[in-house]
Amino acid sequence: MSANLNPKLTAAQVSVGDELPPLTVPVTATTVVLGALASRDWRPMHHDRDFAVNRNGVRDIFINTPNNAAWFERYITDWTGPFGRLGRMKFRMNSSVFPGDEMLMSGSVKNVSTDAAGCCWLDLNVCVSVDGEVSTSCEARVAIPEDASDNPWARKGDQWRP
Amino acid sequence: MPETNADIPQQVLDLIGKHQYEEETEFEIEMGYVYNTLAAVQNANPLYWDKSFAEQVVGAQIAPPTMLSVWFRPHYWSPGFEGERTALQSHFDMKRIMELPEAIIGGNESIFGVPVKMGDKLRTYQVLTSVSEVKKTRVGTGRFWVIEVHCFNQHDEHVGTDIYNCFGYRRPAQ
């Protein structure tokens, strides 16, 4: 396998208000369990329906926090390409995502800036919705190449200011 | 359950700002878990699937930044331990001390530093930073608290910080 060493997205290609292409994901029990175990989260509400219903008072097992983060990362870097480097991510769960739900991931560019070290930062508003209701909202800060010669992954020390 | 800030046990007040559970990862960072995570969310990023590409772009094979908390979760069982082993132990300590049987993570913020590379050995500590007054929510009545988890690699470089907003509560029937 040999990936393209040219950045997919550079600063000149992004403007405030740009929208990320939507992504829909049908959620099954396997989606939830796979995500929980991949993130080494053994808590029963993510694999044991009886526990989730009777102890947590919810309708089924549900997607766990680290897996939520992994879905956001995948969604964002699908758009930026591999040169996109996450600096910061903040999210809030309003409601859980259960088997049988269809996640709709969407997002937009809130701000584009270049810091004192010359790093181009995109502030993104991203969310997961189910049946038209936002279940998780996320504010992400991702660095992309300023131009084709820049590589955010090469930034270290004072050059990396997430 | 204590009803006001004045009723927060001294044991909890003493924990605010204190470094707790300083520990190292139980194994060196490895691609097996990375592949499981990528598969779970169908992440095709060549930075993680293509070793040659990763070495050209980053200088090494690395893990996705959002996997930070994964590396500090204990094995479900290991020799010498009995019962369930839990991550974010200071969160479970808060539930026990505050006598709140249920808890959820309502929000999470992560700040990512130096990339985590294959073979890294990470260390971490947890800090309780705040505890709220009693709040009533749709899931029950309890308190919010914030826990920060700071992580470093074997070179003492900051690899990231996770900040958890937690809510410990009693359901209306409890």
Question: How many domains does the structure of chain B reveal?
Answer: 1
Q: Show residues of chain A in contact with B66, CB under 8 Å.
A: 66, 69-70, 72-73, 86, 89
When CB atoms are compared, the residue of A43, A65, A82 closest to B57 is: A82
In a domain, A106, yes or no: yes
Confidence of residue B81 (pLDDT cuts 50, 70, 90): confident
Decide if A42 is inside a domain. yes
- CB pairs A-B closer than 8 Å: 129
CA distance A158 to chain B (A): 11
Average pLDDT over residues A64-79: 96
pLDDT at B2: 52
In the predicted model, what is the mean pLDDT of residues A149-160?
Answer: 96
Our CA dihedral for B148, B153, B156, B160, rounded to 10 degrees, sits at -30
Distance, in angstroms, between A105 CA and closest chain B CA? 12
Domain membership of residue B93 as a residue range? 5-170
Average pLDDT (B89-100) is 93
Tell me the ipTM for this assembly.
0.95
Residue with the larger pLDDT of the pair B49 and B1: B49
- The label of the residue with tokens 């995570």 reads B37
Q: How far is CA B133 from CA B8, B17, B170, in A?
A: 9, 18, 14
What integer pLDDT is reported at residue A67 of this predicted model? 95
In a domain, A6, yes or no: no
Phi, psi of B152 (to 5 degrees): -135, 155
**Could you tell me if residue A97 is inside a domain?**
yes
Confidence of residue B4 (pLDDT cuts 50, 70, 90): low
Question: Does the distance separating the beta carbons of A89 and B110 come in below 8 Å?
Answer: yes
Hey, are the CB atoms on A73 and B64 less than 8 Å from each other?
A: yes
Contact by Cβ (8 Å): B90, B15: yes
Residue A5 lies inside a defined structural domain of this protein = no
A37 falls within a domain: yes
The answer to whether residue B139 neighbours chain A at the CB level (below 8 Å) is yes
H or E element in which residue A114 lies:
strand A102-114
Structural domain harbouring A118: 11-159
When pLDDT is averaged across residues A8-27 and rounded to a whole number, the result is: 97
Tell me, what CATH number does A125's domain have?
3.10.129.10
Structural domain count, chain A: 1
Short-list B127, B64, B106, CA closest to A136 = B106
Please give the pLDDT value at position A8: 86
* Confidence at residue B1, expressed as pLDDT on a 0 to 100 scale: 53
Of A36, A54, A56, nearest to A46 by C-alpha is: A36
CATH number at residue B130: 3.10.129.10
User: How many Å lie between the alpha carbon of A78 and the closest alpha carbon of chain B?
Assistant: 7
Is A18 within a domain?
A: yes
Residue A29 predicted with pLDDT over 70: yes
Judge whether B95 and B103 are in contact, CB under 8 Å. Answer: yes
Under a CB-based contact definition with an 8 Å cutoff, are residues A123 and A16 in contact?
Answer: no
Q: Look at residue A88 in the predicted model and tell me its pLDDT.
A: 98
User: Residue range A17-35: average pLDDT?
Assistant: 98
Confidence (pLDDT) at B6: 66
Tell whether A15 is covered by a domain: yes
**Which pLDDT does position B107 carry in this prediction?**
84
